Amino acid sequence: MSSALDWLQFVLAPQMVNGLSIGVAVVLMALGLTIIFGLLDVINMAHGEFYAIGAYGAVALIGLGMSFWWALALTPLLMAVLGYVTERGLIQRVFHSKDRHTLTLLLTFGVGIVLEDVLKIVFGANPLRVEAPITGATELVGLFFPNYRLFVMAVGGLLIVAVWVLVFRTSLGAIVRAAAFDRYMSASLGVPISRVYAATFAFGVALAGISGVLLAPIYSVFPTMGRDFVLIAFSVVIIGGMGSIKGAVLAGLLLTQVQSISSLFISPVWNDPLLFGIMVLVLMWRPQGLYGKLGNA
């Protein structure tokens, strides 16, 4: 009996907490993807690269002598500018064609290829490290948790709540939701649609950048770091429902828990097949994902 409790306390609980700290980062990433899809109908294939750029942005800013905190605050702003320019300069150009879905997907895919190689040229292919700004561990109910992971959970949780408030409780969010529901109607009511699109894309990219910065001290930073991560984010978005904020949060936390708990029993190699199996089952049961689109939620 006591051994079972010990197992719960010393094996399962830390694993779940670790999963939660990755989970909030995955949710931030998935929120960016799902908001961009919900409003623009664009699958951003370069999202993983934007995540990597966020991490490299932190590396570069810290290299310039800034503290981690400044990097955490500045990187998302720079990422938003990058996102705005990308939407205005590239995505706008194919946005009004008939094959919008395919063309924008292909375009962001091409952008991702270019960005990845740019990272390789600028920073090299070798993994870099970012020192955690908070060291040490805190004792909670007889267990030690790394302080930085607790910090990631707190910041990530706050950001998720902030995104929710922004989208559902502010007039800015109402504009975005109205545009997602009926772009022509909101345009005729005076919403500057193309600027809203660009700003929303920038916002999604900034979210990817933040999760890159947050996870940089936990994982190492390398040019292809976004690839595996974006697969999880895509599964989260597909399971939660493309364009659904509630779905992204729920599915993100759930999937990362499944992943971290299952890795106690099976080799981590089988993590991706497990994730994918869940995704296929959910899609067979509900082809549109768990929840509906942004404008309708």
Partner 1 sequence: MHDQAKPSAQAPSASRYFTWLFFLGALVFALGAGLVGDVFFLRLATEALIFGGLALSVDLLLGRVGLLPLGQALFFGLGAYVSALVLKEWHNSFWLSVTVSLVASALAGLVGGIVAIRAKGVYFALISFGLAQVVSKVVFNTRDLGASDGIIGVPGAAIFPGLTSADPIGFFLVTLATIFGLYCGLTYLMETPFGRQLSAIRTNEHRIPFLGFDPWRYKLLAFVVAACIAGLSGALYPMLRGFVSPELMFFQVSGNAVINVIVGGTGTLIGSLYGSTLLTGLKSVVGSFTAHHQIVIGLLFVVVVIVFPRGLIGYLSPLLQRRLSFRHATGRGGQ
Note the residues at the interface with partner 1 (CB under 8 A): 37, 43, 90, 93-94, 97, 99, 101-103, 105-107, 109-114, 116-118, 120-121, 227, 231, 234-235, 238, 242, 269-270, 272-273, 276, 279-280, 283-284, 287
Nearest distance, CB of residue 108 and partner 1, angstroms? 9
Asked whether 75 and 58 are in contact (CB, 8 A), the reply is: yes
- Among 253, 22, 56, 18, residue whose Cα is nearest residue 145: 18
* Between 227 and 246, CB nearer to partner 1: 227
Nearest distance, CB of residue 184 and partner 1, angstroms? 21
* Between 76 and 241, CB nearer to partner 1: 241
**How far, rounded to the nearest angstrom, does the alpha carbon of residue 258 sit from its chain's CA centroid?**
18
Nearest distance, CB of residue 156 and partner 1, angstroms? 24
Asked whether 259 and 274 are in contact (CB, 8 A), the reply is: yes
* Between 138 and 194, CB nearer to partner 1: 194
Nearest distance, CB of residue 254 and partner 1, angstroms? 17
Rounded CA separation 195/15 (Å)? 43
Rounded CA separation 282/276 (Å)? 10
* Between 101 and 169, CB nearer to partner 1: 101
Dihedrals φ, ψ of 192, to 5°?
A: -75, 80
Dihedrals φ, ψ of 146, to 5°?
A: -60, 135
Dihedral angle of Cα 99, 100, 101, 104, to the nearest 10 degrees: 120
Asked whether 61 and 71 are in contact (CB, 8 A), the reply is: yes
Nearest distance, CB of residue 165 and partner 1, angstroms? 28
- Among 254, 247, 253, 211, residue whose Cα is nearest residue 230: 211
**How far, rounded to the nearest angstrom, does the alpha carbon of residue 22 sit from its chain's CA centroid?**
11
* Between 33 and 176, CB nearer to partner 1: 33
Q: Radius of gyration over alpha carbons of the chain, in Å?
A: 19
Nearest distance, CB of residue 122 and partner 1, angstroms? 11
Nearest distance, CB of residue 118 and partner 1, angstroms? 7
* Between 66 and 94, CB nearer to partner 1: 94
* Between 88 and 120, CB nearer to partner 1: 120
